[in-house]
Structure 1
Amino acid sequence: MSGRRKWQVLFGIPAILLLFVFLVMPLAGMVEMSFRTSGTGAPYGDDFTTAHYSRVIGDAFYMSTLLRSLVTAVIVTLLCLIVSYPLAWHLSRAKGGKALFLYACIASPLMTGVLVRNFGWMIVTAIDGPLNTLLIALGIISRPLRLLFTQGLVVMALVHVFIPFMVLPINNALRNINPALSEASLSLGAGRASTFFRIILPLSFPGIQPGVILVFVLSVAAYVTPALLGGQMVNLMPTLIIRELTGTFAWPFGSTLAIVMSMSTLSVVICFSLLTAKLMERVRA
């Protein structure tokens, strides 16, 4: 082994150890816990069983909750993409102080604590909150709307916080597109819309794909926002998992719910990656 190769291996060992300790071991422990029997007077028993998986798969309540979580994540991802692409477009063309200002505005949701941010949403959307007061004053509505503890508010709040995770990779991809390609397309008679859909949009897909995957995964696993803004009226998988793990201390069943949610999320990500693999190959070529 050459000296350079040896140094590469040595520098890679800490990363491998971190992944093993903080990813592989907890995941393996969660899988092992999901096969444990329920305990009497303890969080889990000593034997192993597959009954928890049969219970989750055979119960319409858990399957519908899983489906609702996935659909909610898809909606959040699509809305983030729709809102983020124009922002990333302007950000990729900004320079100097304007670029710094836009970066600060886009990253601002991440600069506020999750509890503070969600309590802010609760205040704004309360029955007697500023939003309802403004809508009534403008004559748009005649009586206050019940916005808190609804699916729509959960989606809106998740879009608000996850936009930076979509904007930044798309911005990076747009900055890497050679401006000469657009100029050549326009000079050859193509319109701006045709240039965008046939050149800019496909070439920006290396930023769209990771942004979509990241926002989707984060949306499926989000807990604090659905718990605070959805309450008991919006049941999603993370809230059920935490309820089982910390509320009833049913660790085996809570672990089973977590594994089922993780495998479902991973399946959607793999399907999306396979469906977009050809487009990624064309762009890279």
Structure 2
Amino acid sequence: MRLPKPRLLLAVPAIALIFVFMILPITNMAEMSFRTTGTSEPFGEDYTLAHYSRIFGDAYYWGVLVRSLLTAATVTVLCLLVSYPIAWHMSKAKGMKAVFLYACIASPLMTGVLVRNFGWMIVAALNGPLNETLMALGIIERPLRLLFTQGLVILALVHVFVPFMVLPINNALRNISPTLIEASTSMGASRRDVFRDIILPLSFPGIYPGVILVYVLAVAAFVTPALLGGQMVSYMPTLIIGELTGTFQWPFGSALAIVLSLSTVIVVAIFTALTAKLMERSKA
């Protein structure tokens, strides 16, 4: 009897963790989404497609799903626009300047999510510093209602997720050889051409994981939309948590979670297909 190779044995803990904390919960949630609604318990013994029919047949859930996906896409695009220049400067920084930039980027992650959101609630209040500053500058005549709006939710999510975009782009930019840029410049290429034809394609291995990570995190965000969006703006995670813990409709909440998960996978797959050639070009 041949014993398994040591390298395969090293993979057993990782496989066990993936099975216990990923595959098993997702399988259980998928099975739960087909359960009937219980009378005295969160779910019944029989199986049904009624929950999915309810979701796909109601325009309200379609609207919430589309809003969640578009909000995550907006957050991702804004994070990319903000993060790329920051990552570029970080890739060129050395010594204490690099340490300072890393500390500034990591600072949002050092504060609890509740503290960050309550901070935004204070800043965006009717009598908060943001409205008072705008009124003092004469930009507005009366305070703006910023709380419980989609714009504030997007702004707060960008504030939280920028580090997840900056760091992989920074690593990709650091791996670009300066000789490539020097050679293209010496051959007459403009700065715009160098960025478009060399820097941007070679930095895509950092953009790709950053975009996917931020998008997935933004789609699944719950605390920030719940606190800053409130009852005025509904998102899929808040609906899911409400069904699971509020009304204890576990089958319907699981169906909502499955629909959101599949929609996210489809969006990521489309993004991967559209950027496949750019990824291959970056590896060439």
Partner in structure 1 of residue 280 of structure 2: 281
Write out the 4+ residue segments of structure 1 that deviate beyond 6 Å after TM superposition. none
Identical residues among aligned pairs (%): 71
Q: Is residue 134 of structure 2 the alignment partner of residue 138 of structure 1?
A: no
* Deviation readout 1:210-262 (Å, 9 max, x if unpaired): 10000000000000000000000110100100111111000000000000000
What is the one-letter code of the residue matched to 1:107? A
Partner of 1:120: 119
Question: Deviation of residue 2 (structure 1)?
Answer: 9.4
- Residue 279 of structure 1 deviates from its aligned partner by 1.3
SS in 1 for 2:176: coil
What does residue 40 of structure 1 align with?
Answer: 39
Partner of 1:239: 238
Report the 3-state secondary structure (helix = DSSP H, G, I; strand = E; otherwise coil) of the residue aligned with 1:232. coil
Residue in structure 2 matched with residue 175 of structure 1 by the alignment: 174
Task: Give the gaps of 5 or more residues in structure 2.
Answer: none
1:7-30: per-residue Cα shift (whole Å, max 9, x none)? 111110000000000001110110
User: Partners of 2:12 and 2:225 in 1: how far apart?
Assistant: 38
Query: Structure 2 matches for 1:9-158, cutoff 5 A?
Result: 9-158=8-157
Change in 2 beyond 3 A, CA 1:49/1:152: same
Matches of 1:51 and 1:9, distance apart in 2: 44
Q: Distance in 2 between matches of 1:282 and 1:124?
A: 44
CA distance in 2, matches of 1:115, 1:249: 25
Between Structure 1 and Structure 2, how many residues are aligned?
284
Q: What is the TM-score normalised by the length of structure 1?
A: 0.98
Amino acid at match of 1:33: M
Provide the rounded CA distance (Å) in 2 between the counterparts of 1:7 and 1:170: 35
SS in 2 for 1:204: helix
Q: Distance in 2 between matches of 1:253 and 1:110?
A: 33
Letter in 2 for 1:96: G
Question: What's the RMSD between the two structures over aligned residues?
Answer: 1.2
Q: What is the CA–CA distance in structure 2 between the aligned matches of 1:273 and 1:27, rounded to whole Å? A: 23
Q: Distance in 2 between matches of 1:68 and 1:194?
A: 37
Deviation at residue 6 of structure 1 after TM alignment: 1.4
Q: Is 1:163 aligned to residue 162 of structure 2?
A: yes
Q: Partner of 2:250 in structure 1?
A: 251
- Equivalent AA in structure 2 for residue 114 of structure 1: V
TM-score norm. by structure 2 comes to 0.98
CA separation of 1:196 and 1:27: change in aligned 2, threshold 3 A:
same
CA distance in structure 1 between the partners assigned to 2:74 and 2:274 by the alignment: 19
Task: Tell me the SS of whatever aligns to 1:90.
Answer: helix
Q: Given the alignment of the two structures, is residue 189 of structure 1 paired with residue 188 of structure 2, yes or no?
A: yes
**Alpha-carbon deviations, 1:162-219, whole Å to 9, x = none?**
0000000000100001111110111000111111111100110000011000000000
| 1:202 partnered with 2:178 | no
User: Hey, what's the Cα distance between the residues in 2 that align with 1:97 and 1:260?
Assistant: 47
**2: distance between equivalents of 1:36 and 1:278?**
42
1:145-167: CA deviation from partner (whole Å, max 9, x where unpaired): 10000000000000000000000
